[in-house]
Amino acid sequence: MVEALWPELPTDPGWVADLSREVKRHKVADLVFHNLVACPRKSPAARMLADDLQGHLDARRERRRGALEAARSAIEMGAASGAHLIKGLAMRRLYPDPSLRHPGDVDLHFSSIEGALILIRQLLAHSWTWDANEPPWLKWDDHGVPYGQWALSRTGQADRVDIHIGPYSVGYLGLLRLPEFEAGSFDGVAIPCASRETSIAILAAHAAGDSLLSMKDINDLAVIAQDGRVDWTLVLDVCRPAGLVSTLGQIMWWARSTYGLDSIPNIGSPDKPLPMTTPHRWGRALRIAHATYRQCRLRTSPIHAGLRAWEALRYYTVDLTPRVGHPRPVAPDRQFRTQSLCWRMIPMSMWHSMEAGALTSRSSWSFEPLVDGVELIRAVDSCVVRWGEEIFVPTVWGTVTRSSLALAKALAHESSTTH
């Protein structure tokens, strides 16, 4: 099929550039390039595409120099702290040739925050820093249990470790309980990995959260399902409470129809398909808001579902860049520790250059445990979160008060002078 297809590609350079851009965006450049090289008869367009992808892959390889060693080290530390390997690297090990699957980041999952904090502390001591594009965040489920995602990047490199805590968040749609893990390994390091069923559920959650379907998702599902060992009843049971059955059905439909796999059951063709090209910001936000309303409406009143949908629409359209303002709420006080409020913990690397205000009197400060080993410090209209020497300024919508910045800088100065 590949040999028959490539000679038919249009030779217009603009068309080839568009195709190359889509191949990269869908994160299937490794696989497409491999197939192009293996094809004995190439049209001029196919050769142009192969040259462009080779340049892309060479540049990525240079950016990620040392990434394998860094990933192995992070996974080794994670395994010792009770982590599970999920998403890309857990998927990659299932491919007949793992090198054909996009490498992705290191995604480690912890059932609770205690083990996650142990690993984060170790990574910070080994040339990893808080990711500049995504501050750590926390939410609380209906039982008051914290969950979230804390991302770190390797200093001066493109490598990233995403640490997922608790159930897997599907944004405003809900929570995905990760059901099963199995014995596995990465580059000789033994670590529990997401099972086939867990990996499929995460595929659906990721696509729903992005409101976007990618060819990588379709390929991943086809690889997982081709040997007929998937417990589809378990997959559906896990996806249903998180409102993921429709999204899962779309990925299944595409994988089944693209690769002709009878091992993937047909649970119906997509009636409202997700886009395969990046939607406009407002288009994505509206899709997520509508899905949030439908999901919330199954378990609550129209008014509450509408409120959650409005919160989702606002969250995915506003500017969340950290800045000085008048936030409401100011702090993750007990009544604001909910599933609908995403508390982003702004690290010092992001707040240190922001202009602070006057420091409130120390006599007005209050101290309260937030989660295990993490402390909430409050003072009138200011708030910081302290974890050892790390000082964060929490925010939901990006705005923080000058007095919070003053409190953060005072505590950071105290910490630096006592160590």
In DSSP notation, 47-96 reads HHHHHHHHHHHHHHHHHTTTHHHHHHHHHHHHHHTT-EEEHHHHHHTTSS
Angle, helices 29-38/13-25, rounded to nearest 10 degrees: 130
Confidence of residue 6 (pLDDT cuts 50, 70, 90): low
Mean pLDDT of all residues in 72-95? 95
Predicted pLDDT at 312: 87
Predicted pLDDT at 62: 82
Does 268 fall in a domain?
Answer: no
Q: Tokens at residue 52, please?
A: 């462009």
Domain that holds residue 31: 2-63
Q: What is the pLDDT of residues 328-337, one digit of tens each?
A: 899 999 999 9
Look at 215 and 4; give whichever has higher pLDDT.
215
Do 227 and 309 reside in the same domain of the chain?
Answer: no
Q: By CB neighbour count within 10 A (0-12 exposed, 13-18 middle, 19+ buried), where does 233 fall? A: exposed
Predicted pLDDT at 284: 84
Do 76 and 183 reside in the same domain of the chain?
Answer: yes
Do 181 and 304 reside in the same domain of the chain?
Answer: no
Predicted pLDDT at 23: 92
Do 228 and 105 reside in the same domain of the chain?
Answer: yes
Do 311 and 335 reside in the same domain of the chain?
Answer: no
Confidence of residue 173 (pLDDT cuts 50, 70, 90): confident
Do 44 and 166 reside in the same domain of the chain?
Answer: no
Confidence of residue 107 (pLDDT cuts 50, 70, 90): very high
Confidence of residue 60 (pLDDT cuts 50, 70, 90): confident
Mean pLDDT of all residues in 109-125? 95
Say how far apart CA 209 and CA 170 lie, in whole Å. 5
Does 28 fall in a domain?
Answer: yes
Do 215 and 91 reside in the same domain of the chain?
Answer: yes
Do 236 and 125 reside in the same domain of the chain?
Answer: yes
Do 237 and 136 reside in the same domain of the chain?
Answer: yes
Nearest one of 178, 159, 185, 25 to 90, comparing CA atoms: 185
Handedness of CA 261, 267, 268, 269 (dihedral sign): negative
Measured between alpha carbons, how far is residue 319 from residues 314, 316, 354, 399 in Å? 10, 9, 17, 10
Do 135 and 235 reside in the same domain of the chain?
Answer: yes
Secondary structure of residue 330 in the 3-state scheme:
coil
Predicted pLDDT at 272: 65
Handedness of CA 95, 97, 98, 103 (dihedral sign): negative
Does 275 fall in a domain?
Answer: no
Does 272 fall in a domain?
Answer: no
Secondary structure of residue 220 in the 3-state scheme:
helix
Do 49 and 80 reside in the same domain of the chain?
Answer: no
Does 289 fall in a domain?
Answer: yes
Amino acid identity of residue 292, one-letter, is T
Per-state percent for the chain, helix, strand, coil, to nearest 5 = 45, 20, 35
Say how far apart CA 244 and CA 209 lie, in whole Å. 10
Q: Tokens at residue 264, please?
A: 């993937």
What is this structure's pTM?
Answer: 0.90
Does 234 fall in a domain?
Answer: yes
Does 403 fall in a domain?
Answer: yes
Mean pLDDT, rounded, of the chain? 89
Does 270 fall in a domain?
Answer: no
- The alpha carbons of the chain give a radius of gyration, in whole angstroms, of 23
Mean pLDDT of all residues in 271-284? 73
Do 51 and 189 reside in the same domain of the chain?
Answer: no
Report how many domains make up the chain.
4
Q: How far apart are the first and last CA of the chain?
A: 65
Residue 71 bridge partners (DSSP): none
